Amino acid sequence: MNQTITIKVKLNPTNEQIKLIDNGSLDYIKTINELVSEMVIDKKTTNKTSASVITPLNSAVKNQAIKDAKSVFKKAKKSKYKIIPVLKKPVIVWNNQNYTIKGNNISMPFIIDGKSKKIEIKADLNNDIFDTLSNAKLGTLRVTKKGRKYIAQISITLNIEPKTNGQVMGVDLGILIPAVATTQNGKVKFFGNGRQNKYYRRYYKTKRAKLSKAKKLNAIINMNNKEQRYMHNQDHKISRDIVNFAKENNVSVIRLECLEGISKTTRTSRKNKKNLHDWSFYRLSIYIEYKANLEGIRVEYVNPKYTSQTCPKCGERHKANGRSYFCKDCGFRTHRDLVGAKNIINATVIDGRSLSA
């Protein structure tokens, strides 16, 4: 089954390269806007070729701009010229014949001193992204600016065979233990280092308080970014480990708790809104879903009600006592942190929550 997704990669251009991107992107949208207004006046699609479009862009890029302009014009025509889109956000696009990804660089042609020249720009290509890109059919490369950052958006098509008839795996996200997974046939794994995360959070909190007293705004912003990066990296690692564990154990469906609107459930004390925000359960589930989907593993969300209290064997409800869970009704005993994951396997699946990758 073919799936088209967009991979976003941060670029680290030099000052010289920033000038090339900035000028190129302005020329790119200017070209599109001019072509669109010409077509709107003529009320027909342009027959201009790259040779007849005069702008300091590489001919392949000009062709891409003509293509984009035609599709913008199509929309305008469809609205009977009531809506004539004008591009404002600078962007520049290359087709898959005109850029290459190698090592930690993405290369694409720019016009320098009137000549087309391929430029290598450093990019944050981690192993995950690199693996995904090497197994994919590459589409267009768009470079845009987000705040002060330059982002490469690479459209890719992957052939993903959905896994079927495998194990169902329940994953319980938590605070002390970031994630616990268990499969129907009883394979269990604990993920992440909750204690370490807690330590880092406290460390940053204390530092932040000190700086805030000293009114050092920039330092606080920098630290927030550092903390964010730390948590992002943790979530990436945990989600990757979870999906690898699923692959190793022939899992075709991963079930996670649906944690939206958590305040309506009885679980407010265990995973309340503050914790939901703090520990980014939501973000972690998105990462898991994204990585799982790339492997053909489906992710389902279940009702989180009583998943931590219900006896996985007989269905009676008990509060866990200390580190272990013991059911007075049927004698079932297990590690308390495993109860949630076991119950998630069999909990009611909630329809209609779809996350985009």
Q: How far is the CB of 337 from Zn ion (least distance, A)?
A: 17
Q: How far is the CB of 316 from Zn ion (least distance, A)?
A: 5
The residue within the footprint of Zn ion, chosen from 176, 314, 349, 355 (CB under 5 A), is 314
Determine if 311 is a binding residue for Zn ion (CB under 5 A).
yes
Determine if 329 is a binding residue for Zn ion (CB under 5 A).
yes
Task: Work out whether strand 100-102 and strand 2-12 pair parallel, antiparallel, or are unpaired.
Answer: unpaired
Determine if 318 is a binding residue for Zn ion (CB under 5 A).
no
The residue within the footprint of Zn ion, chosen from 207, 332, 336, 346 (CB under 5 A), is 332
Q: How far is the CB of 333 from Zn ion (least distance, A)?
A: 9
The residue within the footprint of Zn ion, chosen from 76, 92, 327, 344 (CB under 5 A), is 327
Q: Give 276 or 320: the residue with its C-beta nearer to Zn ion.
A: 320
Select the span of 26-34, 208-216, 255-263, 322-330 touching Zn ion (CB under 5 A). 322-330
The residue within the footprint of Zn ion, chosen from 207, 313, 335, 336 (CB under 5 A), is 313
Determine if 330 is a binding residue for Zn ion (CB under 5 A).
yes
Q: How far is the CB of 291 from Zn ion (least distance, A)?
A: 34
Select the span of 50-58, 81-89, 290-298, 312-320 touching Zn ion (CB under 5 A). 312-320
Q: Give 101 or 311: the residue with its C-beta nearer to Zn ion.
A: 311
Determine if 333 is a binding residue for Zn ion (CB under 5 A).
no
Determine if 270 is a binding residue for Zn ion (CB under 5 A).
no
Q: How far is the CB of 304 from Zn ion (least distance, A)?
A: 20
Determine if 30 is a binding residue for Zn ion (CB under 5 A).
no
Q: Give 147 or 186: the residue with its C-beta nearer to Zn ion.
A: 186
Q: Which residues bind Zn ion (CB under 5 A)?
A: 311, 313-314, 327, 329-330, 332
